[in-house]
Amino acid sequence: MSQGLKLGFLASANGTSARAIVGAIKAGQLTAQARLLVSNNRKAPALHWAAEAGLAGLCIPTQTDPEGADQSLAAEMVAHGVELIVLSGYLRRLGPATLRRYRGRILNIHPGPLPDFGGHGMYGRRVHEAVIASGASASGICIHLVDEEYDRGPVVARRAVEVRPGDTAESLEARVTGLEPQFFVETLRRIEAGELQLPDAAVNG
């Protein structure tokens, strides 16, 4: 019997998507194993949550020695048997060692349509402000592969989110944020079931 996806998580703060995914695993809604959570922030609530959830957690600071941190991150993910990395609010660009070792197997969720509302500096409320300012009738959630450039990797799954009359950046953000965790769970379920194929990667091996 398949044990499913072997997941690692990266989080800089709360790790909201990681919490939803681990919750789905424990509830029997997703066939997967949560192997490791890494944060670049020692005070990240995600690390405290991981300890309470029985999930291995590590802090690997990135500021003083980015190259060493990159190598350590790749090595720890491999040592814990991680096959697919999920970014859950990780606010650092990944380094070459991690990208090389896990190319095509790192997923991020973006709170707006790509490629139009992505790129350097486009995160959080800034995305929703840009969508509102554009006059677009719909925003969306994109789950995409991570590469060397912000938000440039191929989109794996999309979900449209209506921009309603009178919406502000705050109201749109609240609606999108509320949908993101479950959409990540659903997308991982489709990957595990073979309904979605990741380019250049075999995550069920």
Q: Hey, where are the domains in the chain?
A: 1-103, 109-140+160-197
- Radius of gyration for the alpha carbons in the chain, expressed in angstroms and rounded: 16
pLDDT at 1: 40
pLDDT-based confidence at residue 173 (cuts at 50, 70, 90): very high
Kindly indicate the confidence band of residue 102, based on its pLDDT and cuts at 50, 70 and 90: very high
Q: What is the pLDDT of residue 7?
A: 98
- CA angle 124-19-141, nearest 5°? 40
Span 19-32, average pLDDT: 97
Out of 110, 120, 128, 144, pick the active-site residue.
110
Residue 107: its pLDDT value, please?
97
How many other C-beta atoms are found inside a 10 Å radius of the C-beta of residue 90? 26
Contact 2, 204 (CB under 8 A): yes
Give the number of other Cβ atoms within 10 Å of residue 137's Cβ: 10
φ and ψ of 18, to 5 deg: -60, -45
Under DSSP, the state recorded for 68 is H
Q: How confident is the model at residue 150 (pLDDT cuts 50, 70, 90)?
A: confident
CA distance 176 to 185: 15
Report how far apart the first and last C-alpha atoms of the chain are (Å, whole number). 13
Does 202 score more than 80 pLDDT? no
Residue 31: CB atoms within 10 A of its CB come to: 16
Q: Is 128 a catalytic residue?
A: no
pLDDT value of position 200: 58
Q: List, in sequence order, every beta strand (DSSP E) within the chain.
A: 5-10, 32-39, 57-59, 84-87, 106-110, 138-145, 155-162
Instruction: Return the CATH number of the domain spanning residue range 1-103.
Output: 3.40.50.170
Q: How far is CA 193 from CA 9, 88, 129, 186, 203, in A?
A: 20, 22, 36, 11, 11
Distance CA 18, CA 25 (A): 11
